[in-house]
Amino acid sequence: MHHAFIDQFSHLKSPLHQLDPRAKIASFFFFVLLVVLTTTADYIAFGLFFALIFATLLASTVPLSYVLRHSLLVLPFALIAGISLLLMKGDAGLAMFFSVLIKSWLSVLAMLTLVSTTRFPALLKGLEWFRVPGLVLMIISFMYRYFFLINDEMMRMQAARDSRGAPSGLIENISNAGSMIGSLFVQSYERAESAFLAMCARGFDGEMKALCVFNPGVRDFIFIVLFCSCALIIRLFG
């Protein structure tokens, strides 16, 4: 049982994929910052931000349908966050509500573009260069490594449950799910213990050390200048 990775298109060979991860991290985070700072109901600016991110996506050769499908996952969260705005009097509430939705969507599109064009280990090393705390990176790294393994274990348990004629009622399944989650927790805990032993055996002393291999070039500089200045122009004059 294998699953697609969140960075499943990061192995492509487009010019965007070959950029230094730090250039992409800096540019896309700058983009998100500008999107967040855009005034409510500035729909022209939002439209231009969409055009910029879609142009970048087209250059990356990552399938648009994949990015769009995954970006929609943010909408339920944005809806919950923005729903109270609808209670405001007049049109202001509605405009703010749409702005929250659009800003969330644009931010997720930018992050998906970043993750889809950068291999995960390179992304972690880029974040390390930006002084993201080691403990946070270690947690992200283990989550990336073991999430799918735990998911596999859950799918195996579900298959075993179904093959023994699990009841179809919602209540019975909730109680089954409870015991499966408990079992998964114990398995994950044991997995963490054995991975920790393997780390100690190879000299782990509490601090995660990694080699950062960056090959910055002129193209990275050009990308940062082009992408960030486009975003800035949209923000200032959109």
Partner 1 sequence: MEKNKAIEIRNLGYNYPDGSAALKGIDMDVYEGECIALVGPNGAGKSTLILHLNGLLFPVSGFVKVFGHELNEQSKKEIRKQINIVFQDPESQLFSPSVFDDVAFGPINMGLAREEVFARVDEALSHVGMSGFEHRSPHHLSFGEKKKVSIATVLSMKPRIIVLDEPTLGLDPWARKDFIKLLEKLKKEHTLVLATHDLELLELCDRAYMLRDGRIDREIKGSVQL
Q: Does 155 bind partner 1 (CB under 8 A)?
A: no
d(CA 150, CA 168): 24
From candidates 198, 225, 232, 233, binder to partner 1 by CB under 8 A: 198
Q: Does 185 bind partner 1 (CB under 8 A)?
A: no
**Residue of 30, 90, 24 whose CA lies nearest to 230:** 30
Q: Does 211 bind partner 1 (CB under 8 A)?
A: yes
How many chain residues interact with partner 1 (CB under 8 A)? 28
Q: Which two tokens stand for residue 17?
A: 């994929």
From candidates 1, 195, 225, 226, binder to partner 1 by CB under 8 A: 195
d(CA 101, CA 209): 39
User: 169 vs 206, which CB is nearer to partner 1?
Assistant: 206
Q: Does 64 bind partner 1 (CB under 8 A)?
A: no
Q: Does 65 bind partner 1 (CB under 8 A)?
A: no
From candidates 39, 65, 168, 194, binder to partner 1 by CB under 8 A: 194
Which among 85-93, 107-115, 203-211, 223-231 is the span making contact with partner 1, rule CB under 8 A?
A: 203-211
Q: Does 92 bind partner 1 (CB under 8 A)?
A: no
Write down the least CB distance from residue 214 to partner 1, Å. 12
Angle between the N-to-C axes of helices 21-37 and 43-60, in degrees from 0 to 180, rounded to the nearest 10: 160
Query: CA-CA distances (angstroms) from residue 158 to 26, 113, 162?
Result: 42, 33, 6
Contact between 10 and 118 under an 8 Å Cβ cutoff? The reply is yes
User: 164 vs 202, which CB is nearer to partner 1?
Assistant: 202
String of contacts with partner 1 for each residue 94-133, x by CB under 8 A: -------------------------xxx--x---------
Angle between the N-to-C axes of helices 91-116 and 75-82, in degrees from 0 to 180, rounded to the nearest 10: 150
* Residues 8-13: contacts with CB under 8 Å, at least 24 apart: 8/116, 9/60, 9/62, 9/63, 9/66, 9/116, 9/117, 10/115, 10/116, 10/117, 10/118, 10/119, 10/120, 11/119, 12/60, 12/61, 12/62, 12/117
User: 66 vs 148, which CB is nearer to partner 1?
Assistant: 148
Contact between 111 and 54 under an 8 Å Cβ cutoff? The reply is no
Q: Does 90 bind partner 1 (CB under 8 A)?
A: no
Which residues contact partner 1 (rule: CB under 8 A)? 2, 5, 119-121, 124, 141-142, 144-146, 148-149, 191, 194-195, 197-205, 209-211
